[in-house]
Structure 1
Amino acid sequence: MSDWTIDELKKITRTRIRTLRASMTAEEHASKSEEICLRVIRDVVSIMKPGSTLFTFMPMPGEADVTGILEHCWSNGIPAAVPKVEPSTRDMTFHYINSYDDVQKGRYGIREPLPSTRLAEPLSAGLLLVPGLAFDAAGRRLGMGGGYYDRFMEKVKASGLLFPVAAPAYELQLVEKVPFEAHDLVVNMVITERKSYHFHNFSTPG
């Protein structure tokens, strides 16, 4: 049995996946991101019920570029919201955006919604797309370590909503077993450039 702690195992896994992602060329990032976006739109967004909100994210460097999904939502009248974080309180809120004019560079260099954008509360049916570094066959997710998405979903679950979670990611981010703790977020689906993996009775909102 390993003598490493969970935190040490998470650090090792994060380093390994970041190294693998960094080994991809810009062309590979672009082509795989495009395929991931097409799969997300086909397998998830296209079957969302009218009025459902897509809660998604603005990608960091190295992550799958999911902005194509946002652009699809804008072109098809699908409500879309992205996060704004507050490191001092470790809180995260989502805000509706209708174009790139509604975002600015925020903390960590990630684009965030402008202060003038409308708050998107998960008070009705929605679907959450989450970033992450590693995922396994049980739907376990390894994030960046901030816990923002873990806390957000705790609030959603407390409200009793059906709020499925899907993760757009590169195939190389799939690992045998993610170091996991009870408070860590579990996803219903991982969508890579090769395949859509379903876990835990995934269903779309509405």
Structure 2
Amino acid sequence: MRELKNSVRQILRQRKDAMMPEDRLLKSRRICRHLMEFIRNGETVMVFTSKEKEVNTKPLIQALFGKGNPVVVPIIVKEDVSLRLSYLRDFSALVPSTFGVPEPIGSEIPALAEDIGTIILPMLGFDRKGGRIGYGAGYYDRFMSKNPGLRKIGIAFACQEVDSLPVDENDIRMDYIITEDGIVYPDGGVSGGDQRHRDT
């Protein structure tokens, strides 16, 4: 399973890396517009701070600021493969940190997982069954296992889709997956996620 996942990751990295920067930003903005339709007024949203070749989350964070939604960002803790949480109120707090991820090191405002309604996750790849494959370290899978009540929305570019991902018992499915083309996977309201966040 590990070798298969690594092979899939290599293919997906090549797809993502082949995108032109201007195309990546344009599609990131479209993803943001689709995603903001899901965000409730006043809801606290946890969102990853993107690296160069990922979906650019700066437009999303700006939109959340504009709507008045509290924003929480993760801080990678390599020692125990966990995520520490901090509120983000200004982009100036972000500095390149672990793995080159922008984090509010030195400007942390501690946040609690139980205050979060929705988590926006990075994905290296996905399928239309809600499957997500990350970069392999397992930070987000561990965090979601400890906090199963969060509504989980994965965002990625359409080129990162595969027919079927190799998944195991530790891989957590998304409630929604959104690309520049819109919603490509709804949960259907049957399983997973916090029922408080279901559309009625």
Give the TM-score normalised by the residue count of structure 2: 0.90
Question: Could you tell me which amino acid in structure 2 is paired with residue 191 of structure 1?
Answer: I
Question: 1:76-95 CA distances to partner (integer Å, 9 max, x unpaired)?
Answer: 21100111011111111221
Secondary structure (helix, strand or coil) at the match of 1:75 reads helix
Q: Percent identity?
A: 25
Distance change in 2, residues 1:204/1:29 (3 Å): farther
Given candidates 85, 92, 110, the residue that maps to 2:101 is: 110
Give the superposition deviation at 1:199: 2.2
Tell me: higher relative CO, structure 1 or 2? Use CA pairs within 8 A at least 6 residues apart: 1
2:132 aligns with: 141
Given candidates 173, 180, 197, the residue that maps to 1:186 is: 173
1:3 aligns with: none
Given candidates 27, 30, 39, the residue that maps to 1:32 is: 27
Secondary structure (helix, strand or coil) at the match of 1:119 reads coil
Given candidates 84, 89, 96, the residue that maps to 1:98 is: 89
Consecutive unaligned residues in structure 1, runs of 5 or more = 1-5
1:71 aligns with: 62
2:183 is the counterpart of 1:205: no
Question: 1:115-153 CA distances to partner (integer Å, 9 max, x unpaired)?
Answer: 332222121451000001111111111000111001111
Give yes or no for contact 1:82–1:97 (8 Å, CA) kept in 2: yes
Give the superposition deviation at 1:24: 1.3
Question: Could you tell me which amino acid in structure 2 is paired with residue 190 of structure 1?
Answer: I
Question: 1:25-58 CA distances to partner (integer Å, 9 max, x unpaired)?
Answer: 122111111111111112x12xx143x2100001
Secondary structure (helix, strand or coil) at the match of 1:34 reads helix
Distance change in 2, residues 1:55/1:17 (3 Å): same
Consecutive unaligned residues in structure 2, runs of 5 or more = none
2:158 is the counterpart of 1:167: no
2:86 is the counterpart of 1:86: no
Moved over 3 A (4+): 202-206
Give me the whole-angstrom Cα distance separating, in 1, the residues matched to 2:116 and 2:96.
Answer: 29
Give yes or no for contact 2:124–2:135 (8 Å, CA) kept in 1: yes
Give me the whole-angstrom Cα distance separating, in 1, the residues matched to 2:89 and 2:165.
Answer: 35
Give yes or no for contact 1:55–1:82 (8 Å, CA) kept in 2: yes
Give me the whole-angstrom Cα distance separating, in 1, the residues matched to 2:197 and 2:168.
Answer: 27
Give me the whole-angstrom Cα distance separating, in 2, the residues matched to 1:126 and 1:115.
Answer: 25
Give the TM-score normalised by the residue count of structure 1: 0.88
Give yes or no for contact 1:164–1:204 (8 Å, CA) kept in 2: no
Q: Count how many residue pairs are aligned between Structure 1 and Structure 2.
A: 193
Distance change in 2, residues 1:66/1:14 (3 Å): same
